Amino acid sequence: MTAPPRLELRHVSRRFGGVNVVDDVSLTIAPGQVTCLLGPSGCGKSTTLRIVAGVDRQDSGEVRVDGLLLSDDTRHVPPEERGIGLMFQDFALFPHLSVAENVAFGLRGTRARNAARVAELLERVNLPDFGSKYPHQLSGGEQQRVALARALAPRPRIMLMDEPFSGLDERLRDEIRDATLDLLKEAGTAVLLVTHEPDEAMRMADEIALMRHGRIVQQGAPYNIYNNPVDRAAAGFFSDINVIRGRVRGALTATPFGDFLTPGVPDGSEVDIIIRPQHLRIDFDRAGRGPNPTPQDGQAARASVLRARYMGRESLVEFRMDHDGSQLRATVPGVFLPRAGTALWLMIRRDRCFVFPVDRAAAE
């Protein structure tokens, strides 16, 4: 028999004012696994977290920990008995308690054991000599690390984190994210992390649950979600995208980049062929002849540079396509700054395209 998941949500729904803010959400998280609930503001992430914490209650569905029922229609274990750690953006430390007292706050042990645990954690978050300081004497990043130590001190089986790093400036954020991840992995804690930032989810998550209008629309490893999105919106949530619209004729869609195989889409209907800017190939004009077609990249199409910008790690080049005046964006690693008006040829890597039937409702 395999062990039950550390955290399990089964068909959890929550309504506010007639709207399903959380709509039939099911999710499992194993010990030591980090799952990110990722989605735009207002999609129901925090509500889901609050239900798991027990500070809100679902209208239907179950929450289980290690297979044991925490909450359903009839049963509701109160938050303080759930053994769940919490970390939020506005994580207020207790201002009148020292750092050590803050970290010890949730501990039940003897004084000596608590002191040892506090020292161990302050060591781990790189604040070994901070025990007797007070919160107002700390920087934002230091306060965040104390909050993390406080949340981890009672060895919670599950950690819920709601946009916990969004108050920090960017460089500090990367450092604290990595330190946090190390600590949580080491402790074997199951983590449910809420964020609206795809970069944060990609960086932190073993698994991403992409949420929209209260529903989980796609779930999987970051690699799979990024490279195999379920629809146009899921593709566009992670990066800028180029969309080439076409109409299907006999399982093929003609584009300036040659014919695309678009099987399974009814004849005469429209499809969106989607490509991320880093997967456009740029080639030279060769006196207007362009490159030869290849099996992988298909046919090239001519375009002129609208503008090019250097972004640090990469250059962003915007093109106007000769054939119809539509615009596409490409990113190129390093420095590539062709002048406006330069003629170049574009190809799109077939293996990096996503093809979706045009969904008028979702496009609104």
Ligand X SMILES: Nc1ncnc2c1ncn2[C@@H]1O[C@H](COP(=O)(O)OP(=O)(O)O)[C@@H](O)[C@H]1O
Site for ligand X in 7-26 (CB under 6 A): 16, 21
Residue type present at position 255: T
Question: Min. distance of Cβ 46 from Mg ion in angstroms?
Answer: 3
Considering the complex, state which of residue 43 and residue 65 has its C-beta at the smaller distance from ligand X.
43
Question: Min. distance of Cβ 123 from ligand X in angstroms?
Answer: 33
Question: Min. distance of Cβ 64 from Mg ion in angstroms?
Answer: 23
Considering the complex, state which of residue 161 and residue 234 has its C-beta at the smaller distance from Mg ion.
161
Site string for Mg ion, 34-63 (x = CB under 5 A): ------------x-----------------
Judged by beta carbon distances under 5 to 8 A according to partner kind, the member of ligand X, Mg ion, none in contact with residue 110 is none
Question: Min. distance of Cβ 315 from ligand X in angstroms?
Answer: 34
8 Å CB contact between 317 and 305: yes
Question: Min. distance of Cβ 37 from ligand X in angstroms?
Answer: 8
Question: Min. distance of Cβ 302 from Mg ion in angstroms?
Answer: 46
For position 41 contacting ligand X by CB under 6 A, the verdict is: yes
Judged by beta carbon distances under 5 to 8 A according to partner kind, the member of ligand X, Mg ion, none in contact with residue 84 is none
Residue type present at position 264: G
Judged by beta carbon distances under 5 to 8 A according to partner kind, the member of Mg ion, ligand X, none in contact with residue 310 is none
Instruction: Find the binder of ligand X among 5, 34, 45, 244 (CB under 6 A).
Output: 45
Question: Min. distance of Cβ 26 from ligand X in angstroms?
Answer: 17
The Cα 113–Cα 183 span in angstroms is: 20
Question: Min. distance of Cβ 191 from ligand X in angstroms?
Answer: 17
Site for ligand X in 168-207 (CB under 6 A): none
For position 42 contacting ligand X by CB under 6 A, the verdict is: yes
The Cα 246–Cα 50 span in angstroms is: 44
Judged by beta carbon distances under 5 to 8 A according to partner kind, the member of Mg ion, ligand X, none in contact with residue 16 is ligand X
- Nearest partner of 275 among 320, 306, 240, judged by Cα: 240
**Beta partners for 161?**
87, 193
CA dihedral for 81, 87, 90, 91, sign (positive or negative): positive
- Three-state DSSP class for 76? strand
For position 74 contacting ligand X by CB under 6 A, the verdict is: no
Instruction: Find the binder of ligand X among 13, 33, 35, 47 (CB under 6 A).
Output: 47
- Three-state DSSP class for 289? coil
DSSP per position, 137-171: GS-HHHHHHHHHHHHHTT--SEEEEESTTTTS-HH
Instruction: Find the binder of ligand X among 7, 9, 44, 117 (CB under 6 A).
Output: 44
Q: Which two tokens stand for residue 313?
A: 């790690």
For position 246 contacting ligand X by CB under 6 A, the verdict is: no
The Cα 345–Cα 181 span in angstroms is: 43
- Nearest partner of 140 among 117, 167, 102, 162, judged by Cα: 167
For position 57 contacting ligand X by CB under 6 A, the verdict is: no
- Three-state DSSP class for 200? helix
Of 41-49, 113-121, 172-180, 302-310, the window that binds ligand X (rule: CB under 6 A) is 41-49
Q: Which two tokens stand for residue 320?
A: 């106007």
Q: What SS3 string covers 9-71? A: EEEEEEEECCEEEEEEEEEEECCCCEEEEECCCCCCHHHHHHHHHCCCCCCEEEEEECCEEEE
Instruction: Find the binder of ligand X among 9, 12, 36, 43 (CB under 6 A).
Output: 43
Instruction: Give the interface with ligand X as residue ranges (CB under 6 A).
Output: 16, 21, 39, 41-47
**Which residues of this protein are in contact with Mg ion, per CB under 5 A?**
46
